[in-house]
Amino acid sequence: MTGRGEPVPLPRPNIEWPPKPFDTAFRTISTWDAWYVGDTSELATKYNETPRTRPSQMRGGVVGTVARFFWGRPVPAGQDRTRLHVPVASDLATTSADLLFSEPPRIVLPGTAQETGRTPRQTRLEQLINGPETHASLLEAAELGAALGGTYLRIVWDTTDGGPNRPLLTAVHADGAIPTWRWGQLDSVVFWTVVRRENQMVRRHVECHERGRIVHALYQGTEANLGVVVPLAEDAATKWLAPLVDAESAIETGSTGLTAGYVPNIRPSRQWRTTPDLAPLGRSDYDGIEPLMDALDETYSSWMRDVRLAKARLLVDQNAMTPMGRGAGAAFDTDQEIFTAVPGVMGSLKDGNVAQAEQFEIRHEEHRATAVDLLRSILRSAGYSPQTFGDDPLAVSTTATEVKARERLSERTRDKKARYWAAELSRLSRVLLDVDAHAFRGPGSGGDTPEVRFPPKVQEDTLELAQTAQALKSAEAASIETRVRLVHPEWDGPTVNDEVERIQNETRLADPTMLRPGVDPDSANTFGQLVRGSVTPESAAAAAGISGVRFTVSAPSPPARRSSADHARQP
């Protein structure tokens, strides 16, 4: 909606489900899901509503175009045609998630980078966000978002014994929610889960996320009708909620923010830009390239048909066949060496041609060229470079600059998507801290909104970063702190400060010019190498033959991993 919607705490009973206009969006999303999953039977169902005849293929417009898809063509009765699906759709979704979260972003509170010690709030945020469970959830959500046009993130928590002792961030599929928008941003959302199906009866657990609370309800209806509200205690799947909700069937969150968020894959949505309720949903990576993916499947299916038809076959003279008995037919022995010609009989055996081989040509070059061109068109339309997928046949004998240029399209797409993720993760991180304070007595957010920092590039080459840092040092164009941040962009302020201090101590100890005049240069170099190898200064001086030197700083030691308690005790 362009203005503020009027979110209803819970859907009205006995309404059509899903409600309009989201039923239209969910039909399109289900088609994208069929490409993502690679379910060939579902693809055939989506594009072929007339399994035995083809009258729709003679029509114009959208109906005729869809029916003329390769997957929309019915297989004639009595024929066995093999249709091959190329999982390029799932590869696109996986690659999109990898580009975003193969190296997770850093989420820090304002001012953390300048502080000398990590605050308790930042330490708790690290525990909530920068764990493997959250990183896995973000990867899952990003892959779903690329396939379905967007994804929802939801904050959940469990205070019972044996629970995780902290709130969690989970992903919800785009076709499992009914949102309400305010100026293009999520204002409230209804999630639902089917908890039971018995004959025609369907029970749905519905949860409505509003600012400050989550309302739960259990509906009993049919596949197409939401039905009526029944008590939560009537079903084993929702029985645990009954003692937790208040008189309005709600649970307080302890935050003024929304405990759910929506991250669009890419905006604007081409299909729904004129429908206010659907326009903010975003579009899938598959939007508009379904015909190309369909043509790629047809190309590979034709290729495999050539392979199947090109199997070697023998046309054998009937007189060379060995009878197998009355009614059992005849067989040809491929190991038989001598065949006797039959005098006066017309046929190939008389002429000495016992068998004739038939084997068709496999048009592999034509099929391969067509498939490569289609794949390049698919990747370009989706916003990715062939180099990202390792499918660029021209990627041999190229310089690093040329490789970067070929990956530029993927980097631009990744940067666009990262902006959507940064905005929503920043807001949800603040709500996550508030919920943690409410449910687990954490330090809370203090009203501050964390900052999300994505790495400048996915899996930056360490050697390249080191060479850049060395060039900046030689040109005296960057301080030690700047160079450390360049090589380790994911580190926070205290970690960077500790590394800078260790480098300064090591430099002072290992610099031969810091020794007294008159010391042999070779001995000084030996001393520096030993110190850099973590040998104590006294032992290094003795091994290098240097005497009479008094050291005023200690030798550098390997960085020790700090515990959360150590960070919490820092000012």
Per-residue pLDDT, 149: 96
Interatomic CA distance for residues 514 and 241, integer angstroms: 70
pLDDT score of 526: 75
Return the number of other C-beta atoms located less than 10 Å from residue 388's C-beta.
20
Query: Can you tell me the distance from the alpha carbon of 166 to that of 172, in angstroms, rounded to the nearest whole number?
Result: 19
CA distance 344 to 515: 112
Q: What is the pairing mode between strands 213-221 and 250-252?
A: antiparallel
Q: Select from 245, 270, 211 the least CA-distant residue to 427.
A: 211
Report pLDDT for 179.
96
**SS3 assignment, position 255:** coil
**Torsion over CA: 543, 544, 548, 554 (sign):** negative
pLDDT at 566: 43
- State how far the Cα of 461 lies from the Cα of 384, in Å rounded to an integer: 20
pLDDT (tens, 9 = 90+) of the chain, 571 residues, equals 434 444 457 899 999 999 999 999 999 999 999 999 998 888 988 887 544 444 545 444 444 445 568 877 776 665 556 788 999 999 999 999 999 998 888 888 886 544 445 688 888 998 898 888 899 999 999 999 999 999 999 999 998 888 788 999 999 999 999 999 999 899 999 999 999 999 999 999 999 999 999 999 999 999 999 999 999 999 999 999 999 999 999 999 999 999 999 999 999 999 999 999 999 999 999 999 999 999 999 999 888 888 887 877 767 777 677 777 777 778 777 766 666 666 655 566 566 666 666 667 888 889 999 999 999 999 999 999 888 887 554 444 444 555 565 678 888 999 999 999 999 999 999 999 999 999 999 999 888 899 998 887 655 667 777 888 888 888 888 888 888 888 877 676 778 888 888 887 776 655 554 555 556 666 767 777 777 666 777 777 777 777 766 665 554 444 444 444 443 333 3
- Rounded to the nearest 10 degrees, the angle between the axes of helix 120-129 and helix 408-440 is 120
> Which tokens in the block code for residue 287?
């939007």
Task: Please give the pLDDT value at position 501.
Answer: 84
Identity of the amino acid at 478: A
Cis amide bond preceding 268, omega within 30: yes
Cα(222)–Cα(433) distance, integer angstroms: 39
Angle at 147 (CA atoms; ends 17, 420), nearest 5 degrees: 95
Contact 128, 432 (CB under 8 A): yes
What are all long-range contacts of 23-32, with beta carbons under 8 Å and residues at least 24 apart?
Answer: 24/278, 25/272, 25/278, 25/281, 26/175, 28/271, 29/148, 29/149, 29/174, 29/175, 29/284, 30/175, 31/290, 32/147, 32/148, 32/149, 32/284, 32/286, 32/287
pLDDT of 5: 44
CA atoms 203, 208, 209, 213: torsion sign: negative
Q: Locate 50 and state its tokens.
A: 């007339």
Cβ of 282: how many Cβ atoms within 10 Å? 24
